[in-house]
Structures are given as C-alpha cells and as structure tokens.
Structure 1
Amino acid sequence: MTALAELLVNGLASGAVYALVALGFVIVHRSTEVINFAHPSLLLAGGYLVAVLHDDIGFWPALGAGVAGAAALGALVEFVVLRRLRSGSHGTLSIVTIGVDIVLTVEIARRIGAEVLPLGDPWGDRVVQVGGVTIAQARIAALGVAVAAITVFLLAFKYTSWGVAMRAAAEDRATAALMGVRLGRVSAGAWAVAGALAALAALFLCVFPTPGLDRATSFAALKALPAAVIGGVDSTTGALAGGLLIGVTEALAVGYQDEAALLRGGFADIAPYLLMIVVLLIRPTGLFGTRELARA
C-alpha cells in the first residue's frame, strides 16, 4: 500500500506539470483554434535560459528570465509567423507550427549539444517522509507551483478583461472583433502565457530525479498533448484533469512494469497515447470538450 501511495503522489506531481503544458495547448487553441505544435520548443527554450543563467544571476532570477524569455518567444512566433498567415486555414497554421518547432528545437539542441545541463534548483535530491511515503521535495514543489499557476490563470481567465476577451474570441471571433476585441492582442497574449507555463513546466521536468535539461527534454511536452486531447482541447478544466490522468497512468505503468509482462518493453512511454485513444473512442471531444451540434 505504501508503494502504491508513493506512485500516486509522484504521478499527481508529474501530472500537475503535464497539466501546465496541456493548459498551454488549450489556451492557444481557444484563442486561435490552432493546435500549437511549437509548444515543445518553447518549453526547451525556457529551460535552456534557466540552465545557462542560474550560475551568473542565481536560480530565482534565472527562473524569472526563463519564464519571461519563453513568453516573449511565444509572442514573437505568433507575431512574426502566425499573424502573417492569418488568412490560412487552422489546419495549415497548425502545420506551420510544426516547422517552427523543428527550427527552434534544432537550434536550441545544437547549443545544448550532448551535455545534460543542471537548472540549479534549490531542492536538489532531498526527500521527505510522509506517513512512510518517500517524496522528493522537488515533486512537492512541482505540485504546489503547478496548482498555484493554474489557479492564477483560471482566476485571470474568469475575472480579467484579457480573460473576457479570450472567452469572447473563443465563442465567436467575428462577433468579438465587431465588439472591439483586438484579436491580435488576444492571440499574442495567449502565446505568451503558454510560453510562460511551458518554462515553468520545463523546470520541474528537469529536476530530481531527472539529471537535468538535455536535447530530449522537449519530447516530454508531447505527453501533454494527449492530456489536452483527453480533457478536451477547448477546456481549461480538462487540461488539469487530463494532465493528472496522464501523470498517474505513467507512474503506475512504471511502478508495476516489473510485475506485469504487459507493462514491460517501454509500455510507460506509450501509455499516455493508449489512454488518449480509449478516451476518444468513448468520447470523441474529450472528457470536458464541447460537443459540436450539426443539423442533418
């Protein structure tokens, strides 16, 4: 029972981090109806800035610089690339983000090289014992920061003028524009927020027990895409639920892989995608996604 509790706690902590990334997918999709496949490169960029700056300016300023840098990069991609192709279909724009991701990821990976870069976090490999369950302090911090960041976003989404504008754009972009909503500003803001959340997620994807940031870190963001799809790509609540489901599923698959033959051979790597397929077969719009009604 103790082992199961440990797996669940670690799974929830990882799931909260996946939820941060999934929320970025949802924010961009709600504001622009585009699936942002460049999100992994924003995550990698934010983590890279923290890794190269923390020795010179300290961890917390470096984290702030990483979050700000990833946010600025997201807004820049929206302004320089996506806004210039506004007349294209949403499918075309989504494909364009794949190209953007490849360009950015290759450049950052070139800078990282074969190294594994520590992010200089203050938790290190310290652990705490809670009721016989061993939990890394970094996992506790990940859970706390993720919950706080998601809560702040949801409050801003509901009560600020930016949140109202985003909700209006998500409901009907043409009507929102006629009512004075500046769609370009809403879109750029969504990309910036998504980048900031990705940078926070990069930190907790690279701390203990992970040795640090490397060229493959961006692949972790791809596990958050099933989380967004499972929850519903137009649902902020669904991003949180989907992230937690993916985190717990992955943790249980890793924890029990030695006891079940089915879970061996890297099953944990494909478990998020299998879960996504099962959910979509039952509910094609995701757990909290909005069903589109069509008249025959």
Structure 2
Amino acid sequence: MNAFLTSLLNGLSLGAVHALVALGFVVIFKASGVLNFAHGSLLLLGGYLTAVWHAHLGFAGALAAAVLVTASVAGAVDRFLLQRGGAGSHAAPAQTIVTIGVDVLLLTDLSRRIGGDLLPLGDPWADSVTRIGPVTVADSRLAAIVVSCLVIGAVFAAFRYTAWGLSLRAAAEDAEAAALMGIRLSRVRTGAWCLAGALAATAAVFLAAFPAPGLERTTGQLALAAFPAAILGGLASPVGALAGSLLIGLTEAFAAGYQSELHVLGDGFGDVAPYAVMVVVLIVRPHGLFGRKGAVRV
C-alpha cells in the first residue's frame, strides 16, 4: 500500500509539471498551428537563468526574471523568425521545421554554458520531506502540485475572461473570420508563444528540484515526456492536455515504482511507458481523448 500511495503522489506531481509543458504545446498549436520543437530548450533556458541569478536576486526574484526573459525569447522567436515566413495553415509546416533549428541553436549554447555541471536553482524546498500518514513525499513534489494548479487555473481564467483569451479561441476556430472581425492574429499568436515560454520556465524549477540532483544540460529533454501528454489529450485541447498529463505522469510513476514486477518488459520500460500509452490510446481514439474530428464540406 505504501508503494502504491507513493507512486500515486509522485504521479500526480509529475502530471502537474507535465501539464505546464503540455499546455504550452497546446496554446502554441491553437494560436499558430505550429508544433514547437524548441519547447525543451526554452524550458532549459528558464531553468538556467533561475540557476545563475538566484544568488543575486533570491529564488523568487530569479524565477520571476527567468519567466519574463524566457517569455520574451519565445515571443521574439515567433515575431521575428516564424511570422516572417507568413501566417496561416500553409506556413505552419515550414515554421515547425524552423523551431527545430531554433532548438539546436539554443540547446548548443546552453549545453556549452552548463557543461557537465549540476546547477542548483536555490529553491526553498531543498531536500526537505513531509510525512503524510505512511507515505514520505518530497516538499518539492507537493509544491509542484500546488503551484501548477494555481498557474493552470490562472491560464484557464485568462482563456475564459480576458480579451486575449477570447481572441485566441476565435482565431483557433476560424482565423480568417477572426481577422475580419478586427482581431490582430499576429499579436494573439505572439502572446501565446510568450505564455508557453513562461509556463516552460516555471516547469523547469520542479523538473530540476529534489529528488532530481539539479539542472543539467539534459533537463530540457524531460519536456519530451509532455509531448505524448499533449498528443493524448488532443493537440488543440487545453483540457485534454491536463488529462493526458495526469495519465502520463501516473504511468511514469507507477512504471518506476513497480519496475521489479515489470522486469519482463525490460529495465528501461519506465522511459518508454508514456509513449506506449500514447500509441494504445491513439489506436482507439486517433484524435486524442478530447480531440475533435474535423469536418470538411465538399
């Protein structure tokens, strides 16, 4: 029972952090139709800035500055690189390829700066743990759940109650009609990229916090675990991103917690388990858990 509860709490915390990253994938796709392969390097950038600034600004100040800078970099990538190639669904495939180049450039520079070091982020939870009944859980895991819920709640409130959120939803439904109604599509999509960058920088803190040893140059690759979560839920569905993230987080945690019982599937099964779940779900529901089948009138 202890192993089950521990895996459950770990899965919920992993799912909460994956949700921050997956929501970034979804917001960008809804706004621009681009699948952002540079998301992992943006996450690494946010974590790196927090690590190098926390000694001077404190953890909260460094995180706030890192979120702002990462959001600005993400917005600049869209504004000055991607939108130069045009807008609309016809440009999205080429822009998706451009994000691969951006990822290579950012990842190369950040890897050179980090090297083989493990960078602490100065988070206030350190290696402290809390005992909940028979289960001992890291405070960073609990903080991940609380902070992710607050941030995701704020994002959904922005979708629902702000002019930008209304514009984003209108552009996602019919970009041409939204443009005719006076919505500035370029501003909407740049705002989406900025939001995704901010979410990635926030997620970096919890991916590098205890029990992880710290930020390393491979931390950005952890964002790839959120990719099947976004696909699972339906790439254009924010609610689906949350559901997919929880499913992937629980899958990872239980695969790791019961690795000895799953040894017949291989020692590294926990690493591929999220993708195995994605394949199984997509066989049953090709459009994802909350994806909608497109209708075309001929």
Q: Which runs of 5+ in 2 are unaligned?
A: none
User: Within 1, Cα distance between the matches of 2:268 and 2:56?
Assistant: 39
Q: Which moved more, 1:216-225 or 1:91-100?
A: 91-100
Match of 1:133 in 2: 135
Superposed CA offset, 1:26-84 (max 9, x none)? 00000011111111111011000000000111111001011111101110100111110
Match of 2:198 in 1: 196
Task: Note if 1:217 corresponds to 2:219.
Answer: yes
User: Within 1, Cα distance between the matches of 2:86 and 2:65?
Assistant: 30
Matches within 5 A, 1:76-155: 76-87=76-87, 89-155=91-157
Task: Note if 1:55 corresponds to 2:55.
Answer: yes
Match of 1:43 in 2: 43
Q: CA deviation at 1:185?
A: 0.4
Does the residue aligned with 1:68 lie in a helix, a strand or coil?
Answer: helix
CA contact (8 A) 1:256 1:263 kept: no
Q: Which runs of 5+ in 1 are unaligned?
A: none
Which residue identity does 2:255 align to in structure 1?
Answer: A
Q: CA deviation at 1:291?
A: 1.3
Q: CA deviation at 1:292?
A: 1.0
Does the residue aligned with 1:135 lie in a helix, a strand or coil?
Answer: strand
User: Within 1, Cα distance between the matches of 2:64 and 2:156?
Assistant: 21
CA contact (8 A) 1:78 1:188 kept: yes
Q: CA deviation at 1:295?
A: 5.3
Residue in structure 1 matching 2:249, options 247, 250, 258: 247
User: Within 2, Cα distance between the matches of 1:232 and 1:262?
Assistant: 31
Which residue identity does 1:206 align to in structure 2?
Answer: A
Identity of aligned residues (%): 53
Superposed CA offset, 1:118-162 (max 9, x none)? 100000111111111111100000000001100000011011000
Task: Note if 1:64 corresponds to 2:60.
Answer: no
Does the residue aligned with 2:131 lie in a helix, a strand or coil?
Answer: strand
Superposed CA offset, 1:219-253 (max 9, x none)? 10011010000011000001111111111000011
Q: Which moved more, 1:184-193 or 1:284-293?
A: 284-293
Which residue identity does 1:190 align to in structure 2?
Answer: A
Match of 1:15 in 2: 15
Does the residue aligned with 1:129 lie in a helix, a strand or coil?
Answer: strand
Residue in structure 2 matching 1:160, options 144, 159, 162: 162
Does the residue aligned with 1:134 lie in a helix, a strand or coil?
Answer: strand
Give me the CA root mean square deviation.
1.1
CA contact (8 A) 1:119 1:207 kept: yes
User: Within 2, Cα distance between the matches of 1:220 and 1:207?
Assistant: 13
CA contact (8 A) 2:30 2:172 kept: yes
TM-score by length of 2: 0.97
Match of 2:34 in 1: 34
User: Within 2, Cα distance between the matches of 1:36 and 1:83?
Assistant: 14
Q: CA deviation at 1:218?
A: 0.7
**What is the aligned length?**
296
User: Within 1, Cα distance between the matches of 2:155 and 2:72?
Assistant: 18
